[in-house]
Structure 1
Amino acid sequence: MEGTILSSSPQVARAWLRASSKQWTAVLREREEQVFLVLTLVIGALVGAAVVAFILLTERFGARLYPAGGMGLRRLLVPVAGSLGMGYLLYRYFPDARGSGVPQTKAALYAREGRISLATVIGKFFCTSATLASGIPLGREGPAVQVGAGIASVLGRWLGLRPERVKALLPVGASAAIAAAFNTPMAAVLFSLEEVVGDLHAPVLGSVVLASATSWAVLRLLLGNNPLFQVPQYQLLNPWELGIYAILGVAGGFVSVAFTKLLLWIRANFLKFPKKTEWFRPVAGGVLVGITGWFVPELLGVGYNHVGAALNGGMALKLMALLLVLKLVAVAICYGSGNAGGIFGPSLFLGAMLGGVAGNVANHFFPNTVGTPGAYALVGMGTAFAGIVRAPMTSVLMIFEITRDYAVIVPLMISNLVSFFISARLQPNPIYEALAHQDGIHLPKAESRQGKRRQVNDAMRPPTGVLRAEMTVQEALEKVTGSEFASWPVCDDNGVVGVVSLQQLNDAAREGSASRRLSELVDPDDFPHVHMDHPLHLALERMGSNQLDLLPVVSRANQHQLRAVVTLEDVLAHYGVEKEVGK
């Protein structure tokens, strides 16, 4: 009898789990909004605690590994060992934890149904903490965004929320991370909406605000009410000084473009190396940082203590100019080679050094008529952030929350606007979108993120009439005889590789190329296509410019993955003009 009871226990447990799952599903259907609200509070608290741990690990552990007065050999060996060890872990166990974290979060939001795995969250936290603690001069805020969004994603999926609700939780976690990382809850809300979602009127605004406030409260509870930087009060001494701040904006724009282009160029070249070299590529950054850190120890780590010195006028002009150049090159190589870390912190560091240099020069030529170098260093931080990250509104609000002083707002706005304008003109593709594109992920532009009506998703149909790339022109002509379309997608074993039209096939046959394969008529790296969230008018424009009546709808994560097709007939029908076409 005892054996019968034991054998029936697993069945009883499974039946109980099924019943509980059904009950929970019913609760979710009835009270999803209340569950989402409670989950927002939980996410804010957990992310706030995680960011506090981030701060303690990267700052205190790093101070023990390479103390300021320690041996120069330690400053050489620690970054090399850290980049080598973390490079192997990233390659072997946590491939999705490499890089900044912001483009990866946006990719999860727009191309992966809001999914960030628990392994990625753990790997991002551990590998970034160890990398930064070893002296690699990258930032912790970008990785914190991915960790925060990952915690939200894991909790949402564990509770069984619908995919749309899980995706809505990602900006909630991102906002909580920025609020705790910078001690700036308002700027965190704006960044989450301005950069991650791309829509200041997003329906998740309330949840984003709530999570940001909760995370900020946890930060204050654990670490106290200490601002990221201790800065004195600044003032504008002369209205003509605004012209100097505009010149700082020009310099900040060019520095932002130089940094972005250099980083993207270096990373593109590292990506050309064989896949098997991925685990030791980060050592390139570690060796550079170790050698330069031997002679210039101020280069090691995030460097916020040196930013604080520049803000308070405690750093020499030559040292700031040297750190500006060395940090720009070191960050570009460390990030491009594949180390874990972000560009938030480095952008603030570069801006502070640039502003400090500009402030010292201004004081040399116009003594007693301009503000202190620290004021220019502060404005420079926002200037570089606006030019590199392309979030000008966030940068203004962030610097204001750091200083809590209105006097710096007008110079900051002028400098930010100039920097943003120059950066956007000389580097049209923002850095996060460019990094994602290098990984084969096509993030949506602002207009497609905000356009909720008349998208390709509304008019597409399952793919039909697909032609194989190994078919000849003659075989394709025979297959499409009687087809209702005049264009067809071409696919091979890896997915869609192009589109051919009836006109192309007929022209090839007339020229005596009937035996040519279709793969010779298409370009797999550059073929007309659309994504599901593209506006329908863009599909019409691409059909017209390529003389096609059908376009493949492909995945943003892989442009060769055929999701559907959209036809001219379906687009016109969606606009309600099919009857006129029939006539």
Structure 2
Amino acid sequence: MNLLFALLRPWRDFLRTYRHVSSVRWLLLGVVVGVFSGLAAVAFFGAVEFGKFVIQHKLAGLTLPAPAGEEIFHGEAGPLRLWVIPVTTTLVALVTGWLITRYIPESVDSGTDGTDAMIKAFHVQGGILKPRAWMIKGLTSVGTIMSGGSAGREGPISQICAGIGCWLAQRLKLTVKERRILLLAGAAGGLGAIFRAPLGGALTAVEVIYREDFEAEAVLPAVLSSVVAYSLFTLFYGTEPIFGIPHFSFRDARELIFYAVLAVACALTGWLYVRTFYFVKYSVFRKLQEKVGLMWATTVGGLLMGLMGMYYPQLLSGGYGWLEGAIMGQMTIGMMLAILIGKTIATSVTIGSGMSGGMFAPALFVGGMTGGLVGQAAHHYYPQIAREPGGYVLVGMAAFFAGVANAPIGPLIMVTELTQGYGLLAPLMLASALCIVLGHKFSLYENQVDNKFDSPAHVMDATINILEELKVEAHYKPRLVVTLEECTTLKALTDIIANTNQLVFPVRNTAGEFTGLLSLSNARRVLFERTLFDLLVVRDLAGKRAYLRPDYDLYTALLKFVDTDYDQIPVVAPDDTNTILGLIDRESVFKAYADAIREVRSDEGE
């Protein structure tokens, strides 16, 4: 028996640490979410790339450039059959429209893409993403991208992995607040893995939900989840970054002028990108949906996308291969301008019609082409200053997405991870900051809010923050507490109650263990039933056990009072729940809160 206790003690110590040390708990939860997110990213990426290889390369006969880090399937192209593209995009759109109409019609109003659906779930849905929604959206996104729809992988994978985080939180019966944090941790894992940028993915997930803020409490689990997911992803697909590009550096301070021009250009193209999308979605396809239904409106969008892709293959799927070509200086100004405009329209048609996919990758694509245009022009007229036009493509990617998504840090870090260096850090910071300032009046994501004060998720934070700063140890008086034995009769209980002012009595078993609580309000209904004096014992009247430790905050105490409806709750020793130090009253918590509010108001008045 002693051996068994010795073996179980480390496990008990771990459970105690897990329950009472938040950083340890989030470390473990972040790792678990990262494992699931990494496996989901591996499966999603493999399915998309295999589907593209079969449909676009083998069936349609297209040989499209792929970035160096994503060439995982090789083989000779089939005979050229360009009609395959509109046929497959139309079929995928038809199936997508039917599935959404039949199973998840509410997702029509979930926002721009999967990332926006995740943002909405965080703010107004209590951190809940229905499994049916993210599973169907994930499958239809695979179909959209592999058939050639102009959409990205990052939006769907953020929704899928956010859904996984939500699902785990529900299985573990976590609080709403914790569920929201795991939602973001899941999204971070998906982004960090699929983009091969663990830090950038984590920071993007926690800042994209706000325009002017970020979710600080989610940083630790988000980073852990992203690192674990990225590590799993690289076990299958290698550690090489997406783009095989040379190292770029910033050498001439005069070049900042051109990067400032780039920020202005990105703000303009960002405005065009967002406005075009909203116009196509609401003024064209939403009206078409009202007339013929979602399924047929989506089918029309798939057909239009397929026809555009058939005549201009540069618009198909994410387009990272063309983006790498722009970085390497292999594209002309005219070609980049045409792709920029075409990609904006193609993405608006694809996502705006109701097909599934993300706006993240197309946004990087358009931003990169904008950077390429500015870089090529600057290099043409001032070659001694703008020596590396490819660097403008990378800076344009980060600045453009920072502007349209109001996410200044994540995209910047992503680009430094893609380039595997900080050579472009100064222009990245300048261009991103300027682009955010210039584009603050529009946003790619419909469900973003300005800051925590505008989020329903933080409506109670003013109260919670005050109570979390106050500890139980400062608001109870250690004293001798009258406890009851489980076998104490009702007759003996009346004598005990008459000689104490306690409202709640801890109950112990024969081994001296604290097993429950007897509330005076519950006992009062039988207290004077003389016929029951020798029949009822304390064990029959006791309620469930509840306790607080001195290091608990008063918000935890408040929740405990609400959950149990006791007037007093025992305060126990930090290392032994059977040692009762005193009692804390419900009124003590309310008084502490009122005093703290009064002090805050007094400080503000001064």
Match of 1:216 in 2: 230
Deviates more, 1:363-372 or 1:119-128: 363-372
Equivalent of 1:271, from 260, 267, 286? 286
**CA separation of 1:214 and 1:74: change in aligned 2, threshold 3 A:** same
SS at match of 2:296: coil
SS in 2 for 1:256: helix
Match for residue 163 of structure 1 among 169, 176, 197: 176
Instruction: Name the aligned partner's letter for residue 19 of structure 2.
Output: R
CA contact (8 A) 1:245 1:415 kept: yes
TM-score under structure 1 length normalisation = 0.68
Task: Give the Cα–Cα distance (whole angstroms) in 1 for the partners of residues 172 and 462 of structure 2.
Answer: 32
The residue that corresponds to 2:202 in the other structure is 189
- The answer to whether the 8 A contact 1:193-1:199 is kept is no
**Counterpart Cα distance in 2 of 1:374 and 1:443:** 34
Deviation at 1:255, TM superposition (A): 0.5
Matches within 5 A, 1:513-528: none
Tell me, in whole angstroms, the C-alpha distance in 2 between the residues paired with 1:117 and 1:29. Answer: 31
* SS at structure 2 position matched to 1:338: coil
Q: C-alpha deviations, 1:474-520, integer Å up to 9, x for none?
A: xxxxxxxxxxxxxxxxxxxxxxxxxxxxxxxxxxxxxxxxxxxxxxx
Secondary structure of the residue that 1:204 maps to in structure 2?
helix
Aligned to 1:397: 413
Residue 48 in structure 1 maps to residue 33 in structure 2: no
Distance 1:399 1:29 in 2: 38
Match in the other structure for 1:148: 161
CA distance in 1, matches of 2:236, 2:107: 27
Task: Say whether the 8 Å CA contact 1:107–1:443 is kept in structure 2.
Answer: no
Offset, 1:406: 1.9
SS of 2:307 mapped into structure 1: helix
- Aligned residue number for residue 86 of structure 1: 96
Task: Please name the residue that 2:322 is paired with.
Answer: 306
Report the CA distance shift for 1:378/1:37 in structure 2 as closer, same or farther (over 3 A). closer
Could you tell me which residue of structure 1 aligns to residue 486 of structure 2? none
Q: What per-residue deviation string (whole Å, max 9, x for no partner) do you get for residues 147-203 of structure 1?
A: 111001111112222333222211111111111011111112211221237754622
1:75 maps to which of 85, 96, 103: 85
TM-score, length of structure 2 as denominator length:
0.66
| Structure 1 segment 172-187 matched on structure 2, within 5 A | 172-187=185-200
1:138, 1:301 within 8 Å by CA — same for their partners in 2? Answer: yes
Aligned with 1:256 (options 270, 284, 291): 270
**Is contact 1:237-1:371 (8 Å) kept?**
no
For residue 230 of structure 1, report the CA deviation from its aligned partner.
1.4
Post-superposition shift, 1:96? 5.4
- Of 336, 356, 376, the match for 2:392: 376
Q: What are the ranges of 5 or more consecutive residues in structure 2 without an aligned counterpart?
A: 1-14, 64-79, 467-593, 600-606
Larger mean Cα displacement after TM superposition, 262-271 or 251-260: 262-271
What is the correspondence of 1:400-419 to structure 2 with a 5 Å cutoff? 400-419=416-435
Could you give the per-residue CA deviations for residues 199-236 of structure 1, whole angstroms, max 9, x where no partner exists? 54622332222111111111121211010211111233
1:77, 1:201 → 2: CA distance?
43
Q: Which residue of 2 aligns with 1:282?
A: 298
Offset of residue 271 of structure 1: 3.0
RMSD: 2.9
Matches within 5 A, 1:17-166: 31=19, 37-67=27-57, 68-69=62-63, 70-95=80-105, 99-166=112-179
Residue 573 (structure 1) shift: 13
Structure 1 residue 343 displacement after superposition: 1.0
**Distance change (3 Å), C-alpha of 1:124 and 1:96:** farther
Match of 2:454 among 440, 448, 453: 448
In the alignment, the residues of structure 1 paired with residue 385 and residue 596 of structure 2 have an alpha-carbon distance, to the nearest angstrom, of 64
- Alignment partners' CA distance in 1, 2:50 and 2:414: 25
Instruction: Name the CA shift for 1:456/1:234 in 2 (closer, same or farther; >3 Å).
Output: closer
Matched, 1:315 2:303: no
Is residue 362 from structure 1 mapped to residue 350 from structure 2 by the alignment? no
- The 4+ residue runs of structure 1 with deviation greater than 4 A are 27-30, 32-37, 96-99, 197-201, 449-458, 572-577
Residues 446 and 102 (structure 1 numbering): CA distance in 2 closer, same or farther, change over 3 Å? Answer: same
Which residue type is aligned with residue 258 of structure 2?
A: I
Give the drift of 1:30: 8.2
- The verdict on how the C-alpha distance between 1:28 and 1:266 changes in structure 2, with shifts beyond 3 A counting, is farther
Residues in 2 aligned to 1:41 and 1:373: alpha-carbon distance in whole angstroms: 40
Whole-angstrom distance in 1 between the partners of 2:420 and 2:224: 21
Residues 163, 277 of structure 1: alpha-carbon distance in 2 compared, 3 angstrom cutoff: same
Structure 1 counterpart of 2:402, one-letter code:
A
Identity over aligned pairs, percent: 28
Contact 2:189 2:230 in 1 (8 A): yes
Going from structure 1 to structure 2, the CA distance change for 1:275 and 1:92 (only over 3 Å counts) comes to farther
